[in-house]
Amino acid sequence: MTRRAVIAYWLIPAEPAHTFFHRVIDDLARRFDAPVFEPHVTLHVGADRADSAQATLAEAEREYTPIKLKPLGIQESAEFVKTLFVQFALTAELCHVKGIIRDAAQDSSQYDLKPHLSLLYNKLEPAVRRELAASIVVPFSQITFDRIKAVRCVSPTHSRADVESWRVIT
């Protein structure tokens, strides 16, 4: 698969969820020698056009109001960027916000929105992943997301170095 620079648009959780998830991510990163990253739900991934990212975010912010997502539970997978994650219910409101960003970016890239907030990026044995997933409890029935960020990254992300190269544009 070809790797390329992209702009990812993230929803950022509001407090107190932001602090909760940041602590979980920090703890797991320390325990499993993994990268630390900001808690986020990726809305859209498109062309690396940093010059238009500012305008895209300005447009999105004109129409965006904080949204609430319902966590469905902790899941795990062998995929590096979904080693351990919180799965969220897909909502019409979330799809609307994704559409605003895609349209504002004038980007026809297809990104399959499966809303999740990753907690760990690493290669772990299935039994370890399952044990970790069973050990984490999300103490919120709904989580508010109140900010959007644009981040330059490489896609697909395969390693700690890839994660550590991410740069917030706006």
Domains of the chain: 4-72+91-115+141-168 (3.90.1140.10)
Helical spans, DSSP H, in 114-155: 126-135
Does position 64 have pLDDT exceeding 90, yes or no? Answer: no
H helix or E strand, kind and range, residue 12? strand 4-13
Mean pLDDT in residue range 29-53: 88
Q: Hey, is 15 helix, strand or coil? A: coil
98 burial level (CB within 10 Å; 0-12, 13-18, 19+):
buried
Does position 1 have pLDDT exceeding 80, yes or no? Answer: no
At residue 51, the pLDDT reads: 66
Read off the pTM: 0.92
End-to-end alpha carbon distance in the chain? 28
**pLDDT tens-digit map of 109-156:** 777 899 999 999 999 999 999 999 999 999 999 999 999 999 999 988
At residue 132, the pLDDT reads: 97
Does position 170 have pLDDT exceeding 90, yes or no? Answer: no
Find all residues with CB under 8 Å of 110, minimum gap 6, and list them: none
